[in-house]
Amino acid sequence: MADADLLVEEVSAYLKPQDVEHVREAIEFSRAAHQGQMRQSGDPYVTHPIAVARILINLHLDVQAIVAALLHDVVEDTDTTSEQVAEKFGKPVAELVDGLSKLDRFQFETHEDAQAENFRKMLLAMTRDVRVILIKLADRLHNMRTLEAMALDKCKRIARETMEIYAPIANRLGLNDIYRELQDLSFKHLYPIRYAVLSKALKVARGNRREVISKILDAIRQRLADQHIQADVTGREKNIYSIYKKMRSKSLAFSEVLDIYGFRVLVNDFASCYVAMGVLHSLYKPIPGKFKDYIAIPKVNGYQSLHTTLFGPFDTPIEVQIRTHEMHKIAAAGVASHWLYKSGHLLINDLHEKTHQWLQELLESLSQSSDSSEFLEHLKVDLFPDEVYVFTPKGKILSLPRGATAVDFAYSVHTDIGNRCIAVKVNHELVPLRTELRNGDRVEVITAPNAKPNPSWLGYVTTSKARSHIRHFLKTMQSGESALFGERLLNQALHSLGIKPQDMDEAHWNRLLKDTGIKTRQEMLADIGLGRRLNMVVARQLARVGDAVPGEAAANAVITIQGTEGMAVEFAKCCHPISGDPIVGVIKSGHGLVVHTHDCPTLRKGRSSGEQWLDVVWDKNINRNFDVNIKLVVANQRGVLAKVAAAIAGAESNIENVKFANEGEYTALYFTLEVSNRLHLAKVIRSLRKIPEVVRIVRAWTQE
């Protein structure tokens, strides 16, 4: 078998003879297990694991990884068990194979659910052993190379999954060659016509520009030799997908993409990188703003290089990468360089540690996702294509995805810092928390002990760590506050039935939980607070009193709104009730209690299905501020807005928002103000009426 012989020959170049013998045994074991199985292409199935193993040999992975690659489908697709693999090849190999096996034994409602659980299992295995993902990437690469045999719809689904998840993972792990090939193969199957057109155009351009490329190569080599710099200089062609991305992002025709070729300069040592860059800048003028130093500040995947773009001959922009031979090897192998060199190289060890930390943080974030779509969203968000590098006040460099905000930075420092964040300084200046960070920014987070995450942060954070921790905190807080409010609702229902809540002992609760299938009392109370269960129904079930209860008893019960219920009680945005307003409570499933004014326009439209209305009143000692909307019609005169703002401030109210609408000689001002109650609002209105330019004041339901 030619492929098997080639594999043995290639693996013999770096493994010990006894390890090579293990590989031979794994080939025969895999061949026997897959006997009679064929691929969609018509080839014997065993050709696939052999091809996967040969991809990994290029990364010089150890014998356990090569053997696991050869056996990666035997547990999933044959009668072979993990125990048999462990007995024959050892427990580490069996664990690698198990980490790669899909969850076929479970039934999932949708493909998305199955996909999410497979990724979750794979990530868990990766945190224990990163070789799992290296084998998986090699497996996916060979499948992509032979995808033509699949049905068209399955082809596109696999290609899209590869483009969105597997290619970015390869990039994040520094496997540059695998990353670019996965991109091109995905593009080929997602957009076959575009791929064919670009591929043909690239072949034509390759011939037309051969003379220019040759001239530039000769000029670079000669200038470096004149300066006594030993260097290997090569030209490289950009991959088709990166050319397509540039055409799309900049709306260019193929003929307008001049930099389809780049140049790579490999030198012997660190210092020569910067000397070579200076030499090239004297040969061709550099384009301002197109220089990046990834040597001083390596990418998170361990990549190190100098990047510069020059004005070449014939107005051709030249992209040049300059790095040492060692940096080049790490750029190709990424995290796999650990097996490629087996040395105490500091960068490789640091890369390995960072990769493990990233996997742990990603898994921690994803473990808090409540459903498959949220899980996959976090996964895709975290596999970012580009980074910005920012500094802590002590000078530590942190890498964040492009578009990351100050809140993302706070969570990247520590979860508690993110949760308690109230303000941020960027380059010593206070800026809004939604500010996007740029390369080189110095960021300082200001915290407060009692601060909490704001739900609005979810609108602008970009990292999965920040997003998942904010959601987790809000869900936990809502559950706790809903349980407290649910207890009040349940006690009110029990009182209306003539039952003392303290008489409902553990036996009553245990029987109720057993009958309803709910695990804890806390969960039951949270369901009541969120409107998922009616308090009167639960009260009857708890007390076992049946339906022979006077119907009017529940109607006489009133809920007191204290203003400290947190997320369990929501004040309706349609009418902005404030303390002192006549109010009514509406319980909506999943939302808890929503408080409206009794004459709210939304309530006038009628009761929706699934709503429970409750009598609610304000607590006499309520102590909090409320948002309220007012509309002022004022004469168009200079300085009127300043007078209005001063009057509002003089009445001890804050302006949350303001909008304008011109009405000829007059202007309508729509304010959202903070007031403590109706008396405070009346004080504000009295203060505004003293302004001569104010023609009319009304309380508005919304900011029109």
Catalytic residue positions? 76-77
Q: How far apart are CA 375 and CA 322, in angstroms?
A: 39
Q: How far apart are CA 190 and CA 485, in angstroms?
A: 52
Q: Which DSSP symbol is given to 164?
A: I
How many other CB atoms are there within 10 angstroms of residue 405's CB atom? 22
User: DSSP string of 519-546?
Assistant: S-HHHHHHHHHTTSS-HHHHHHHHHT-T
Query: Which residue, 346, 441, 364, 369, is CA-closest to 402?
Result: 441
Q: How far apart are CA 471 and CA 450, in angstroms?
A: 18
Q: How far is CA 595 from CA 108, 457, 488, 573, 616, in A?
A: 39, 24, 16, 9, 8
Q: How far apart are CA 300 and CA 315, in angstroms?
A: 34
Return all residues near 420 (Cβ < 8 A) that are at least 6 apart: 447, 448, 449, 451, 452
Q: What is the largest CA-CA distance in the chain?
A: 103
Q: Which helix (H) or strand (E) holds 179?
A: helix 176-190
Q: Spell out the SS3 assignment of 329-366.
A: HHHHHHHHHHHHHCCCCHHHHHHHHHHHHHHHHHHHHH
Tokens standing for residue 408: 């993302």
How many other CB atoms are there within 10 angstroms of residue 71's CB atom? 27
Q: Coil, strand, or helix at residue 560?
A: strand
Q: Are 50 and 39 in contact (CB under 8 A)?
A: no
